């Protein structure tokens, strides 16, 4: 079944809601809500049921922590080439662009996520480049790689850590945003700062969690 970019854009604009980012009200994203009907995407795209969950339609705590960190310490971003790995909505890359990065590359595995990143970048009046899945190949040259919320699955965590360590050994700074998921490789990470965040599934009145920004050591 054909679900072209124009169809993807129309679906996102029609079914998602523009919302400010918690902790970064100067930024806004297209976000899912109870009436979005994201379950329809499998049929519309012809994909196997649940093959690629629409992570791009939600604000995740590690990404929210990185976005807050870039606002608190824009000097870590300004004038640099930044790779947002596993970009989802593009929040981290958009926050990097807003903080003064000279070039931002957002890598996302889901084609609908890639479309959402472009829409979100336009929504926030910033320029980013969008690339496909880079988790199993050499990463493009960058001064800084930012990875939010990628340590929820053991196999993915192993692959991502290998790529990030290779980049760090080549001289790239690596920042990780995470709320403390099970497969976070803490032994390789130096905590830099913590920020109040909410996780997907938290109720509006639930207390804040801490999203920590780490440097890969």
pLDDT tens string 24-52: 999 999 999 988 888 888 777 766 555 56
Whole-number Å distance between alpha carbons of 145 and 30: 24
What is the pLDDT at residue 216?
97
- Examine residue 145 and state whether it is found in any structural domain, yes or no: yes
With tokens 């523009």, the residue in question is: 18
- Examine residue 65 and state whether it is found in any structural domain, yes or no: yes
What is the pLDDT at residue 133?
77
Give the residue numbers spanning the domain of 195: 60-216
**Could you tell me the CA-to-CA distances from 211 to 6, 80, 116, 197 in Å, in that order?**
35, 24, 23, 6
- Examine residue 172 and state whether it is found in any structural domain, yes or no: yes
- Examine residue 116 and state whether it is found in any structural domain, yes or no: yes
What is the pLDDT at residue 45?
72
Q: Is 202 helix (H, G, I), strand (E, B) or coil?
A: coil
- Examine residue 129 and state whether it is found in any structural domain, yes or no: yes
Looking at residue 79, the DSSP 8-state letter turns out to be T
Residue 98 has pLDDT above 80, yes or no: yes
User: Of 66, 137, 135, which is closest to residue 95 (Cα–Cα)?
Assistant: 66
- Examine residue 74 and state whether it is found in any structural domain, yes or no: yes
Domain count, the chain: 1
Of the ranges 40-54, 108-122, 198-212, the best mean pLDDT one: 108-122
- Examine residue 87 and state whether it is found in any structural domain, yes or no: yes
> Phi/psi of residue 215, each to 5°?
-105, 135
Sign of the torsion formed by the C-alpha atoms of 6, 15, 67 and 185 = negative
- Examine residue 67 and state whether it is found in any structural domain, yes or no: yes
CATH number, domain of 75, equals 3.40.50.150
What is the pLDDT at residue 50?
52
Residues whose CB is less than 8 angstroms from the CB of residue 155 and which lie 6 or more positions away in sequence, other chains included: none
What is the pLDDT at residue 52?
65
């Amino acid at each position: 079944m054909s679900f072209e970019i124009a169809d993807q854009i129309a679906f996102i604009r029609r079914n998602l809601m523009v919302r400010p980012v918690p902790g970064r009200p100067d930024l806004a994203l297209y976000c899912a809500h109870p009436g979005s009907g994201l379950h329809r995407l499998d049929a519309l795209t012809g994909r196997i049921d649940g093959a690629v969950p629409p992570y791009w339609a939600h604000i995740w705590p590690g990404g929210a922590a990185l976005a807050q960190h870039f606002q608190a310490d824009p000097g870590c971003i300004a004038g640099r080439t930044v790779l947002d790995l596993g970009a989802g909505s593009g929040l981290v890359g958009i926050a990097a662009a807003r903080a003064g990065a000279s070039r931002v590359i957002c890598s996302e595995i889901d084609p609908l996520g890639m479309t959402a990143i472009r829409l979100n970048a336009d929504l926030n009046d910033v320029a980013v480049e969008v690339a496909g899945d880079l988790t199993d190949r050499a990463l493009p040259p960058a001064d800084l790689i930012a990875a939010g919320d990628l340590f929820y699955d053991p196999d993915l965590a192993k692959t991502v850590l290998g790529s990030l360590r290779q980049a760090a050994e080549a001289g790239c700074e690596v920042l990780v945003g995470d709320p403390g998921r099970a497969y976070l490789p803490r032994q390789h990470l130096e905590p830099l700062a913590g920020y109040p965040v909410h996780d997907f599934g938290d109720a509006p009145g639930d207390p804040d969690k801490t999203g920590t920004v780490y440097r890969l050591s």
